[in-house]
Amino acid sequence: MTRRVRLRFSGIVQGVGFRPFIYRLAVAHGLTGFVQNRPEGVVVEIQGPDENIESFVARCMGELPPLAEVSDLQTEDAQAVSEDSFRIVPSDKEGRPEVHISPDAATCDDCLAELFDPTDRRYCYPFINCTNCGPRLTIITDIPYDRKNTSMHSFPLCEKCRLEYSDPRDRRFHAEPNACPECGPVLSLCDRKGAPMGCPDPIEKTTELLRAGYVVAVKGLGGFHLCADASSSDALIRLRERKYREEKPLAVMVRDLEHARMLARVSPEEERLLAGPERPIVLLRKKESPLISPLVAPGMANLGIMLPYTPLHHLLLDSDFPALVMTSANQTDEPICIDNDEACKRLKGIADYFLLHNRDIVVRCDDSIAMSAQGAPRIMRRSRGYVPRPLVLSRQYPSVLGLGAHLKATAAVLRGDFAFLSPHIGDMETPEARDFFHESISLIKRIAQCDPDIIGCDMHPEYYSSWVASQMECRRVIQVQHHHAHIASCMAENRITGDVIGLAMDGTGYGLDRRIWGGEFLVADEADFQRAGHIRYFPLPGGDAAVKQPWRVAAALLMEVFGTGWGQVAQGLRIIPEHIPLDTVEAVVRQKIQTVFTSSLGRVFDAVSCLLGIRRQVSFEGQAAMELEACADPTVSRVLPYDLLMDREIVLDLYPAVRTIAEEHLAGKPAAALAGAFHATLVHAFVKTAREIRDATGLNRVVLSGGCFQNRLLLEGCITAFDLAGFDVYTHHLVPPNDGGIALGQALVAGTVAG
Ligand code: ZN
Ligand code: ZN
Ligand code: FE
């Protein structure tokens, strides 16, 4: 029997080869009808025998083009008409757009094959792409996604490219960034002053320069990289000196999985992450390898590795580099560079050469960072390759804007049952970063196609974003406690609602009592929370200075734990820098000069790292904790003493554990065993505290969030132990557990409260 059915697909269905896919499938099934881009999605009408229609729909959903993502499919019967073919009909642009923009995607296998095929007209062309790959978000100036609304508008298609672009059977049908050497962007190599060097083969010359140890700024997809030969310690010393980045680990790019395996241990899950179209930097367990300089990631257990994601990267790595360092081109705390002139100006004195091209980057988008823990992917920084793909929420929300935290900032917009997150903005310490923050807010509003009049922001009175919120014209500003936002962000991505036990284990966040929170057990839902417990407060002498100088935290904890005997222990463990007299330290702590109180687990990690002789001072946030994790023996299951003090709130007292660590390390017990025991102790204490809360409330769902859960050992330990204790455990997969997720959590809470 002949039927006609009308299908409406929404989600990421435009600019990803969806219409030609439908066209080919319909023709293969002998169906007639049409496919059309509409503001509300892609509309398809098909007509033919029942069983063909059924098989069409099944294959449709099973064989989607790689970049497509269907968030909703609606089907209804329609009146059969008389027709004899299947057609792609021109777009209908009336109405409010409901389609989403695809993130940038790594070069696909078909394009790669052409790139290295000497007979292909795009042989070695660094801007080859198709409907399944290439730039998307980073070249968009406006919506809808059409060539005229991208930075490709200044490159009129040549005849050959136009034919591909307009042929539904071609894999470049409506590939907006389509280009070739005749009509598309070109590379140019410039000297340190930004003057073109006029060399015939910029890639070959760049490889030569890299091999000679120079630092080259390379224009990429969402910004510039500083690029250097990862095997050359000389090059890395120069790069680190010039970038004022003494120790922070640098990411490397390697040619393929095989090269990644030479530098790190790679699980099947990690292989999928590395090779996926998002191409994040994946944090892998480093192998000792003579192939790269020890200066790439000193002191770290992990090495950040990514595979090439643009044709230009593939061409650069086609020579025999074991790995290239590829680090975001910016000064510390500044956003990544995107503009040619801007790059030449801002990177003056850092880069020796500039490998530029003339396709503008419109949207700044840093590399994303991911890892695998407990066999599942986790995102630590959600940016290029993931943004602006929306998250699907558990229900409809009013339109809300979340402004995020102060470090690792992002912005988020809720609209309907979608959440749109901005690219990673970074730490809002400089005017440039603040400009980028405003840029990102307008970007994410444009992407989400709405201008919310409800705003969620942090409670911290001194955050720049809190000030921005107070200046915005809107109906309502809702302040959301930092750790409630962490838990809400994890609930949002897991689509759970109602009361949960939330563990927010974190660096710092402004608490309701104006103290610095960061080791929190909350009973929370999307609207509100109660603090059910926390890590025992301890003094943080010097406030923010203590973050950079873990020895201050360690000293304060020793004073708390050992009283007057603390000096001997401190001296024995040599935690205080030689030039600082013990009395001065003691006076500062005892008189509470510039001292705040905190329950931050991040700071406890810092202190333990210092006590174990791993790190007294840090050159970047989280360094001491990361090195403590790196040092820890993961096979140790010994639980150190701790107390749970049952007050109005449960107070988790880690002082006994700190005492044991100090005493035993002083007595010669190795750092690895104690660091391992410290991790095991936290896991044990967390489960025990959560059991108490479960007994009191009957809640059985545990949500883990906060920056400390970037620690793989802690995260995996917790998942296993909570599982074993019969809890339902929810963790992050789609948004970062760190402050990169805060904007989403704020938006969810504000949307719930205001809705
Ligand atoms: Zn392609
Ligand atoms: Zn062309
Ligand atoms: Fe946080």
pLDDT in tens, 682-697: 999 999 999 999 999 9
Residues in the chain, total: 755
Q: State the distance from the centre of ligand 1 to the C-alpha of 172, rounded, in angstroms.
A: 8
Ligand nearest to the CA of 122: 2
Annotated domain spans of the chain: 2-88, 187-369, 384-532+737-754, 536-682
Q: State the distance from the centre of ligand 2 to the C-alpha of 160, rounded, in angstroms.
A: 6
What tokens appear for 437 in the block? 């923050």
CATH fold for domain 187-369? DHBP synthase (3.90.870)
What is the tens place of the pLDDT at every residue in 501-529?
A: 999 999 999 999 999 999 999 999 999 99
CATH architecture type of domain 384-532+737-754 = 2-Layer Sandwich (3.30)
CATH fold for domain 536-682? Tetracycline Repressor; domain 2 (1.10.357)
Mean pLDDT of 317-322: 89
- CATH of 2-88, picked from 3.30.200.20, 3.30.70.100, 3.30.360.10, 3.40.630.30, is 3.30.70.100
The residue type found at 680 is: A
Per-residue model confidence (pLDDT) at position 252:
98
Q: Measured at the alpha carbon of residue 512, what is the angle toward residues 506 and 518, in degrees to the nearest 5?
A: 10
Q: State the distance from the centre of ligand 1 to the C-alpha of 76, rounded, in angstroms.
A: 34
Q: Which residue in 468, 469, 498, 504 sits closest to 486, CA to CA?
A: 504
C-beta separation of 402 from 747 below 8 A: yes
What is the tens place of the pLDDT at every residue in 128-144?
A: 999 999 999 999 988 77
Ligand nearest to the CA of 309: 1
Ligand nearest to the CA of 160: 2
* Whole-number Å distance between alpha carbons of 370 and 273: 8
Ligand nearest to the CA of 184: 2
Q: Which residue in 451, 468, 329 sits closest to 405, CA to CA?
A: 468
Q: State the distance from the centre of ligand 1 to the C-alpha of 110, rounded, in angstroms.
A: 6
Q: State the distance from the centre of ligand 3 to the C-alpha of 507, rounded, in angstroms.
A: 6
Mean pLDDT of 232-236: 96
Q: Measured at the alpha carbon of residue 180, what is the angle toward residues 133 and 252, in degrees to the nearest 5?
A: 50
Q: State the distance from the centre of ligand 1 to the C-alpha of 308, rounded, in angstroms.
A: 14
Per-residue model confidence (pLDDT) at position 319:
84
Whole-model pTM: value is 0.94
Q: State the distance from the centre of ligand 1 to the C-alpha of 356, rounded, in angstroms.
A: 22
* Whole-number Å distance between alpha carbons of 614 and 604: 14
Ligand nearest to the CA of 171: 1
* Whole-number Å distance between alpha carbons of 554 and 413: 40
Q: Measured at the alpha carbon of residue 278, what is the angle toward residues 275 and 281, in degrees to the nearest 5?
A: 75
What is the tens place of the pLDDT at every residue in 46-71?
A: 999 999 999 999 999 999 998 888 88
Q: State the distance from the centre of ligand 3 to the C-alpha of 651, rounded, in angstroms.
A: 20
Q: Which residue in 391, 207, 371, 222 sits closest to 301, CA to CA?
A: 371
Cis bond leading into 388, ω under 30°? yes
Q: How many CB atoms lie within 10 A of CB 578?
A: 6
The residue type found at 516 is: I
* Whole-number Å distance between alpha carbons of 643 and 660: 13
State the DSSP string of 605-657: HHHHHHHTTS-SS-SSTTHHHHHHHHHS-TT--PPPP-EEEESSSEEEE-HHH
Q: State the distance from the centre of ligand 1 to the C-alpha of 307, rounded, in angstroms.
A: 16
Ligand nearest to the CA of 507: 3
* Confidence band of 38 (pLDDT split at 50, 70, 90): confident
Ligand nearest to the CA of 172: 1
Q: State the distance from the centre of ligand 1 to the C-alpha of 165, rounded, in angstroms.
A: 13
Question: What are the C-alpha distances in Å from 248 to residues 351, 507, 597?
Answer: 18, 18, 28
Ligand nearest to the CA of 175: 1
Alpha carbon 293 to chain centroid, angstroms: 26
Q: In this structure, what DSSP letter does residue 196 have?
A: B
* Whole-number Å distance between alpha carbons of 751 and 213: 52
Q: State the distance from the centre of ligand 3 to the C-alpha of 738, rounded, in angstroms.
A: 6
Per-residue model confidence (pLDDT) at position 26:
95
Q: State the distance from the centre of ligand 3 to the C-alpha of 282, rounded, in angstroms.
A: 22
Q: Is 264 helix (H, G, I), strand (E, B) or coil?
A: strand
Q: State the distance from the centre of ligand 3 to the C-alpha of 506, rounded, in angstroms.
A: 5
Per-residue model confidence (pLDDT) at position 323:
97
Is 90 exceeded by the pLDDT of residue 240? yes
C-alpha dihedral over 570, 576, 578, 579, to 10 degrees?
-130
